[in-house]
Amino acid sequence: MTASRQRLGRRAEDLVARRLASAGWELVERNARTRTGEIDLIALDGTTLVFVEVKAGRAGSPTGPVSPAHAVGPHKQAKIRLLAREWLGSGRCPSGVAGYRFDVVGVLVGPDGVEIDHIRNAF
């Protein structure tokens, strides 16, 4: 991954984390490492624990889908489920959680600003 793509991804995660916090979500962990990978964001939406995958892209890019959120296919979904199981098994889950879900947030950066596509319960 190039430094430019890493900066874009970090910027997108910052933006999404701030947006979720301003909507009243509680950020539990960011870039949560497990044995086999990393979960971008883990947050509480009320009593629901949400594993959030953030995908960033540039408008007009010749590669990838029109919306970065649609880049999370079946293989990536399976990987995120595995990471979530590992994270839950590590004992870091806050108390009072009534359920969990997986959200995907696409961040498209273009000359006219940023477009955010938040897909709740994406898979």
Buried b / exposed e over 43-68, threshold 16 CB at 10 Å, is bbbeebbbbbbbbbbeeeeeeeeebb
Q: pLDDT value at position 65?
A: 65
Structural domain of 89: 3-119
Cα distance between residue 57 and residue 89, in whole Å: 32
For residue 21, is pLDDT > 90?
yes
Q: Tell me, what's the pLDDT at 63?
A: 67
Return mean pLDDT, the chain: 94
CATH number at residue 54: 3.40.1350.10
**pLDDT tens figures, 50-106:** 999 999 999 877 666 678 999 999 999 999 999 999 999 999 999 999 999 999 999
Report the domain count for the chain: 1
In this prediction the pTM is 0.93
